[in-house]
Amino acid sequence: MAENLCDRITELEIRYAEQEKIIEDLSGEITGQWKLITALNKKLNALTDRFLELEEQTAPEITVTRPPHW
């Protein structure tokens, strides 16, 4: 009985260590993805601003005129 109990405890310790390693790996992966998402959001915002600037520069000026029915 004692040997069986000792084997079970050893197996549980091994599983716990493996799960702890997996959790650490996943946490590191999430951190890396979060940094990448933040960087991509900054680039997207910069490109959006640049696009709007270019769009304003190329848009023709619309002159304000009175409608014909006035």
Compute the distance between CA of residue 29 and CA of residue 57 in angstroms, rounded to an integer: 42
Which tokens hold the place of 16? 């716990």
Which tokens hold the place of 57? 């520069």
Least confident of 7-21, 30-44, 50-64: 50-64
Model pTM score: 0.64
Q: For 25-47, what is each residue's pLDDT tens digit?
A: 999 999 999 999 999 999 999 99
Nearest CA-CA partner of 5 in 20, 16, 19, 13: 13
Evaluate if residue 6 carries a pLDDT over 70. Answer: yes
